[in-house]
Amino acid sequence: MTETLPPKTPQPDPAPKGEVTIEAVTHHGMGRTAEGTLVPRVLPGEVVTLAADGPKIVTPSPERVAPPCRHFKACGGCAMQHASDGFVAEWKADIVRTALRAQALDGEVARVETSPADSRRRARLAGRRTKKGALVGFHARASDTVIEVPGCRLLLPALTALIPALERIAMLAASRKGEAGLTVTDSEAGPDLHIDTDKPLTEELRLSLPEIAREAGLARLVWADEIVAELEPPMQRMGRARVVPPPGAFLQATAHGEAALLKCVRDAVAGAERIVDLFAGCGTFSLPLAERAEIHAVEGAAPMLAALDRGWRGAAGLKRVTTEARDLFRRPLLPDELARFDAAVIDPPRAGAQAQIEALAVSQIPVIAMVSCSPASFARDAKILVEQGYDMGPITVVDQFRWSPHVELATRFTRR
């Protein structure tokens, strides 16, 4: 559930001279030759000449397209803009199939839901001071160099329009030697900005930052762990409820991706009257599901549960929602605790939730809707459920991190 981007793309191997043929594309988006050489921005079947400034395409693949973003060659935010949408969708589906095969599982990928360009509502940008001012953008490939990305094709236009204001803030929060993390999230009231910096919050900053926030139209500005300015609550719509997430709280990367995952979960638990939502966060699934069922939301971070509870209490027409702050890695819900529910929803962090999955596997809960942001940990957890008597349904791949190696998915497990 935690929004962590995939590891940095490996650097290309030292290039042999002459022409080579690309045999495959790895799960990081790197082309691989028969000898194992890794080459960026290529596709299977292409013949390329390797050079110091990158590969030169001799024979292009029919799946090759012109990258839609002018920053693609330099920026590390995207890995696959040179490939057709159909190729990228099948590549991501195959990443899931490969992870399942590694666990001796045979799973069906029913479809791939791809978020449109210009739709990311949440992103972490890097800010660094320079001699002349500041740079704000994404990192270059396999590098700490910051690349400016005006006109980025990932982000909502409202977020790219914020970059000049972020540069002003980077001047205050970053240094020539150390960068600041700038996590910006779109909300109903305007952008919500969280600044990750080691610099202390001085009285001078307490006075200047709220003015910058007002001029930039920010709903909220948070410096490290302290809310410096909240001009309006940065509301997020979750079903019928409106929720103000705590600073830095998890949120699905695109509205399209959230809707796709929610549909999968709703379909999986349809008809259940009592549902436990494990790793519930601020209520992405709990609150919409409460329109038809009683929900018990379990999450390790108490501030997120408090936001969920306030959202539930302020919404009309929802069934009962209870919350429980609990570390599900150390204290998973046990089979006797799960016995009172008709269905479970689980959306764990990238590492998965082995302890909780093991408890679910030996419970008698009839239906489990699982959402994952890691095919590898999903396959490991799925194997545990299947070996204990659950059937895995068709998988929906949700591509919220368009053109990147990041893969999310959802499916249903039913007790045999």
Strands 395-399 and 408-415: antiparallel
Alpha-carbon distance of 348 to 365, in angstroms, equals 18
Which two three-digit tokens encode residue 21?
């043929």
Among residues 78, 152, 264, 373, which one is catalytic?
A: 373
Which two three-digit tokens encode residue 60?
């292009």
Which two three-digit tokens encode residue 226?
């302290």
Which two three-digit tokens encode residue 146?
């910051």
- Closest CA relative to residue 113, chosen from 266, 268, 267, 260: 260
Q: What does the buried/exposed string (b/e) look like for 337-355 if buried means 16 or more CB atoms within 10 Å of the residue's CB?
A: ebeebbbbbbbbbbebbee
CA-to-CA dists, residue 249 to 3, 69, 120, 279, 304, angstroms: 9, 29, 16, 12, 7
Alpha-carbon distance of 204 to 287, in angstroms, equals 41
Q: Is 55 helix (H, G, I), strand (E, B) or coil?
A: coil
CA-to-CA dists, residue 148 to 34, 335, 407, 414, angstroms: 35, 51, 25, 47
- Closest CA relative to residue 51, chosen from 75, 16, 76, 80: 16
Which residues lie across from 19 on neighbouring strands?
49
- Closest CA relative to residue 192, chosen from 164, 166, 173: 166
Which two three-digit tokens encode residue 261?
């995952």
- Closest CA relative to residue 124, chosen from 150, 79, 154: 154
- Residue pair 77/126 in contact (Cβ under 8 Å)? The answer is no
Q: Which residues contact 288 (CB under 8 A, 6 or more apart)?
A: 238, 239, 240, 262, 266
Active site residue 373: yes
- Closest CA relative to residue 337, chosen from 312, 362, 305: 362
- Residues annotated as catalytic are 373
